[in-house]
Structure 1
């Protein structure tokens, strides 16, 4: 999806920070100044290793982090309204109706004691003045929309009676029940086989096109993002290190971490012996090195990398990179 510079983003996150509080009240920063925008009919993939801050950033935007254990800073403007400063009742009214989230573990997210039809219907009734009968009819329609066979019968079943792929379809039905303009999908294909993964991503793409919504796709799967995203943001240790259109980033990665991630992905046209894993492990929240958080694993690191954190700066043609020594970006055909 191509948008013009004048297009107002549906979601505009700027300088997002998250501090997690210990039982002793000590704050530990786990998200450091994350910024990104999301436009109508666009998919932005947020990619990173486990613990990079992807999911907690999304939870912060949705207002799902408990105030007793987390402090959130920065701004997250949805159609101009900062979600981070909304009163709780106004945020609840917007959440689900205007901005919705598809959670990673559908079995945990769904109530095991209630039928799936009831849970979808109650999502509708929480935001709209409709009868139970009307909400139930809408639930059946939504189950059909996400291609669950025999929806009128299956809406009376409980979550454990569905396969993992079908449970994820139910989560998608709940998320799109009120036609939100922003969908956040947190690892929506985890633990699903490759065929079902493709079906889920195709379904999300179709729903995005039908409704004109935007999709924030949180994943660690570079292959999945390559086929689904318009833009990609690479996260590491609670920071975005690189952001670019998907073709630009995959063809010409500028950050050493991005290049390392791509070098570790098997290719159909390559030799598996050519795979090069990124050395070392990501640092824990309380063990961040000084300077660039990646410098201890980076083969290109030089003196200033250990002392000076790099800013996320523009790089042509449409890229942001946080690196003192990014890889030269050759122009195609030059």
Structure 2
């Protein structure tokens, strides 16, 4: 997004910007390392009204990155470094009370396991209303009315009656709608959705993503979508960032990344997707497994799984640099456009 000042177009400040974000998991167990780095210098920007998808295999660090952004990692078990700026303010330097005031009102998170995130001993309506009462001085009656309205907004049938129901009385898809209603309670400008369709069937997944798209369009909020599902990201995102072993290895507008992947890992993930426009056959897969949390060997972390790795890939680690067009890629030898799918 750009603005014009004195006839010159200038880039506006991102709504949310992570720079060199790191997460070290801490351990006091005997015989284990004191800390293991799992997020290794992640940087990205989220602009007003856009959807950025953060994609990676399990263990790539994407969910921990989201938790770090929200300040939800306990200091006793994780150490967070770098910076996370919301409208220029570094959230990592805020006092816990100041950060808590921003959560919900400016940034909200939709968790992947709604049943675990919701309190089983409280009605869902009460839990949504309490989000409102925690940040605004409103009566219980007004909070209840707004909670019912939010439940209707996310298309929960008969919301006034279901306000009094408990989480276990809802289906998986309906619980996820409750989580979305709770996240929207204070009209935040940033939504972080961590695997919002996990364990839901394909039809319900589509409904949840359609709902998120409609609500984002209504409110103008920005969405950071954490997922391992490339198909989901293709339908929902404006830009995509690919994570591997705690690093972002490629960022690009969604169409460019899917049409012309530059990083071999991105190319391998896309090659593993089933295609409806090609001949039937066995699906390919990225060989090997991701590295375990902790120290990485010298050079490129993807090198042991990369079919095009060269000697220099073992000597120095690639950094995220601009590539042709509006993309960033961390690879010494990016894929050529002629070899893309």
TM over 0.5: yes
Q: SS state of the match for residue 215, structure 2?
A: helix
Verify: 1:19 aligned to 2:27, yes or no.
no
Runs (5+) with no aligned partner, structure 1: none
1:295 partnered with 2:295: no
Structure 1 counterpart of 2:270, from 255, 262, 266: 262
1:68 equivalenced with 2:68 (yes/no): no
Q: How much does 1:314 deviate?
A: 0.2
Mark the runs of 5 or more structure 2 residues left unpaired by the alignment.
3-9
Cα RMSD, aligned residues only: 1.3
**Residues 234-313 of structure 1 mapped to structure 2, 5 A cutoff:** 234-286=242-294, 288-313=296-321
Name 1:152's counterpart in structure 2: 160
* 1:10 and 2:18 correspond: no
Q: Distance in 1 between matches of 2:275 and 2:12?
A: 36
Q: What count of residue pairs does the alignment treat as equivalent?
A: 329
Post-superposition shift, 1:307?
Answer: 2.0
Give runs of aligned pairs for residues 188-199 of structure 1, distance below 5 A.
188-199=196-207
Partner of 2:7: none
- Superposed CA deviations along residues 114-133 of structure 1, whole A, max 9, x for unmatched, are 00000000000000000000
CA–CA distance in 2 between the matches of 1:49 and 1:287? 18
Q: 1:34 aligns with which of 42, 51, 56?
A: 42
Q: Which residue matches 1:124?
A: 132
Aligned to 1:185: 193
TM-score under structure 1 normalisation? 0.96
Distance in 2 separating the partners of 1:111 and 1:271: 48
**Matches of 2:227 and 2:295 in 1, distance apart?**
24
What is the CA–CA distance in structure 2 between the aligned matches of 1:280 and 1:251, rounded to whole Å?
25
Instruction: Report the counterpart of residue 183 of structure 2 in structure 1.
Output: 175
Which residue, 18, 43, 67 being the options, matches 1:59?
A: 67
State the partner residue of 2:148.
140
Secondary structure in 1 matching 2:161: helix
CA drift of 1:52 comes to 0.2
Moved over 4 A (4+): none
Question: What TM-score, normalized to structure 2?
Answer: 0.94
Tell me, in whole angstroms, the C-alpha distance in 2 between the residues paired with 1:36 and 1:281.
25
Matched residue SS, 1:12: strand
1:230 aligns with 2:235: no
1:210 partnered with 2:228: no
Q: Report the Cα offset of residue 289 of structure 1.
A: 2.5
Paired with 1:193 and 1:6, the residues of 2 have a C-alpha distance of 41
CA contact (8 A) 1:266 1:272 kept: no
Moved more, 274-283 or 17-26: 17-26
Cα shift at 1:272: 4.4
Deviation digits for residues 169-198 of structure 1, max 9, x if unmatched? 000000010000000000000011111111
